[in-house]
């Protein structure tokens, strides 16, 4: 398969399996499934008085952006030691994935520099795994995201584990619309907490000049039930529909550029530093 700009989509991931196959037997399959079981049990709508991490609490706590001040590139370098336990396709450090995504987009869309930068920064929210940012567990940071406060769509990976989530049986939350209304807009929908929402908050609150489509990509790139399976479209606004077109373009590079081929960091670094300077302040609050 060749994408519009010429990017060749590989037939298999770095382990020799099809991409996003969550059931094939592999060295990562059991760990990935265990991750999603924990994720689906704990991501609920309401914060109740116990020790679990819940979506509202996460947004309130981490939305303060009072942990540290770092540049975008400094944050990229922190991901050198981060491996995403939810990803069945890659076990390389996250900085490799960021650069692979950005460079693949850059090759096919040379004039859309904002899209190159979206590729570089889209996963920076995974720094929440770092001790200096709270050291959150993987289930509260990575993996596919989905709305909470309405029914869990059956297209969500390892859906069966939602049966252990209290919201699954809550009549206020387990209908098609739940607490939302038709066409309310994704901006009004509470998503499961993770690196997408965190990086969106960081970019927005630090006054990035990236266009709305880039912020939409950052915020919803892990929302596979929407951009791959077309679930939850009844909640979208007209603006969401337009931005989704760019997200679906972006997703192909985010997913299929993953490989064991390393990017020469020092060679591409000056280009990305120039984009960071164009669209972000020198230091950001995280």
Judge whether 181 is annotated as a binding position.
Answer: no
Identify the helix (H) or strand (E) that includes residue 284.
strand 284-285
Tell me how far apart the alpha carbons of residues 256 and 194 are, in angstroms, rounded to a whole number: 22
Torsion on CA atoms 82, 86, 89, 91, rounded to nearest 10 = 30
Q: What's the N-to-C CA distance of the chain in angstroms?
A: 39
Judge whether 113 is annotated as a binding position.
Answer: no
Contacts of 242 (CB under 8 A, 6+ apart): 213
Tell me how far apart the alpha carbons of residues 62 and 198 are, in angstroms, rounded to a whole number: 7
Length reported for the chain? 286
Contacts of 157 (CB under 8 A, 6+ apart): 20, 22, 36, 143, 144, 224
Judge whether 221 is annotated as a binding position.
Answer: yes
Judge whether 84 is annotated as a binding position.
Answer: yes
Judge whether 122 is annotated as a binding position.
Answer: yes
**Contact between 141 and 131 (Cβ < 8 Å):** no
Judge whether 234 is annotated as a binding position.
Answer: no
Judge whether 159 is annotated as a binding position.
Answer: no
Contacts of 171 (CB under 8 A, 6+ apart): none
Judge whether 285 is annotated as a binding position.
Answer: no
Contacts of 16 (CB under 8 A, 6+ apart): none
> Where is the binding site for substrate, in residues?
20, 84-86, 126, 143-144, 221-222
Annotated binding site for Fe cation: 97, 122-123, 195, 221, 254
- Binding annotation: 20, 84-86, 97, 122-123, 126, 143-144, 195, 221-222, 254
């Amino acid at each position: 398969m060749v994408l519009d700009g010429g990017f060749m989509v590989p037939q298999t991931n770095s382990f020799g399996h099809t991409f996003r196959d969550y059931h094939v037997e592999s060295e990562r399959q059991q760990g990935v499934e265990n991750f999603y079981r924990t994720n689906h049990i704990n991501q609920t709508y309401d914060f109740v008085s116990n020790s679990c991490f819940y979506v509202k609490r996460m947004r309130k706590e981490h939305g303060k952006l009072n942990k540290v001040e770092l540049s975008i590139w400094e944050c990229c370098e922190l991901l050198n030691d981060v491996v995403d336990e939810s990803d069945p396709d890659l076990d390389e450090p996250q900085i490799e994935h960021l650069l692979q995504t950005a460079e693949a987009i850059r090759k096919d869309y040379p004039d859309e520099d904002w899209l190159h930068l979206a590729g570089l920064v889209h996963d920076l929210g995974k720094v929440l795994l770092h001790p200096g940012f709270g050291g959150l567990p993987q289930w509260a940071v990575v993996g596919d995201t989905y709305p909470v406060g309405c029914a869990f769509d059956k297209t969500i990976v390892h859906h069966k584990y939602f049966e252990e989530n209290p919201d699954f049986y809550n009549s206020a939350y387990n209908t098609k619309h739940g607490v939302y209304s038709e066409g309310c807009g994704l901006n009004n929908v509470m998503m499961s907490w993770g690196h997408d929402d965190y990086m969106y908050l960081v970019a927005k609150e630090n006054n990035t000049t990236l266009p709305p489509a880039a912020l939409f990509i950052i915020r919803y790139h892990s929302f596979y039930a929407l951009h791959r399976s077309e679930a939850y479209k009844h909640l979208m606004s007209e603006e969401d529909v337009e931005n989704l077109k760019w997200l679906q373009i972006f997703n192909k590079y985010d997913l299929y550029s993953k490989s064991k081929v390393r990017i020469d960091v020092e060679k591409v670094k000056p280009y990305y530093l120039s984009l960071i300077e164009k669209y972000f302040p020198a230091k950001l609050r995280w």
